[in-house]
Structure 1
């Protein structure tokens, strides 16, 4: 039913305004897709036309995001505790899928943990200590954009940990994750896999795109040079930390759009979620008082309407 602020003849106008608002929300997704520019052979920025048709991609993504909202409701309603780890090489697409998962979710329920390098104090702590503080309470989902597996990847390759520290990590992490699972946390681990050629292409895209250059760090450039060292580290990590209680799942991520859809579909399949029934929402009538007067805003406070 239309709000009492509108006459019956204004109902169609109201519905159009609501539809426009929904479309504007979907435009946010299109803005994100504009990030998926690639560098052509001539060094110019182009849009990736090699993947699935845009319409089919968006239809699938919006449907899956609707299911993610149902998952979020179920997690909150049933008091689930969910941890999802996203690992992979630099430019593998971890951040892109995290954006699409969380885009339409309540940040109080689904939050992202992307920890910086440890400070001097944190380096003296138990290795897992700074990650523990980000674990979920009941009714929460935490998505780790990189995780405690930094020790088996960048720290190992770049020499930021000793061989003894790495070996202790491999001894401890299965027990740590088993403890999390026994405590009631649902732990899901994804590795995003790309080829040497694809990483090279994506790094070129960041170099040539001024909106993405901030993503490149000296560590990223060094990781490019040490591709083979990272491969050996990844293989050892997967072999020694793939346990029944918390197995690794490898996402083929050369095609970004397919990787996102496949990862979200798989994630939904890992949870026995169901749609939570909600009571109908009724918009309350606005109270009106004869002595109410809306004060005008001084012109000096108004943001100039440049557009």
Structure 2
């Protein structure tokens, strides 16, 4: 026995018959080897099958509760009187004390997967693919033709919601794995990946951007334009602003149709002319002579 039968079905030791049945149905759908092709699915299905056969029979369950993993070595007449199992018409049927209150295991199995000697409708599995977007595409949203690898070049028209975030999934109903026995097809889930950008850095719905300033803009203050995925906005720079300071523009980040939009954070970076003209050099020299400001001294 790989593990405790109650643990195998995910139920408590005082679970009732209905709870055990529901747990079995759920796990059987998930791990049946005709549906789940993972390497360990068949062993897991056998485990829950065995656990169900033991716990669904009141007498066998009492023996298991009383004697633990060695219950099969204990003769039935040593346990409390209770239901027995016998073969009937080539099928394993469990009867309660009144020969009518038990569970037909194969009927239960058939109710899960269909009857008539085969499986009934089995829904197709959901499938995933990656959808790479630029920051601008994620910001604006809209429609886009998408080709998914492994689908023979087939294209899908995808509606991208404005403000979609990295990791978010866009669902295409009915475009996943095919069902069996008239089962509905699964869905195709496009997992969004937002490509790195040379200017913008995203943290959730917040956008971070560097704001270059000329020395005089930082010293004197200014209203300067900032480029965002949604267009240009104006930022007020206070006099005496230093490099590294962050300015926050509320609501100017990624949109959010269902709630509050993100914010835009600008990080100040003061730039100097790489090759100053003669006049610029002259003015900087005058400033240096007139000013007693020392950026390396505490202030």
TM over 0.5: no
**In terms of Rg, which structure is larger?**
2
Higher relative contact order (CA 8 A, sep 6+): 1
Q: Please give the TM-score of this superposition, normalised by the length of structure 1.
A: 0.19
* Bigger fraction of residues in strand: 2
* Bigger fraction of residues in helix: 1
Q: Please give the TM-score of this superposition, normalised by the length of structure 2.
A: 0.19
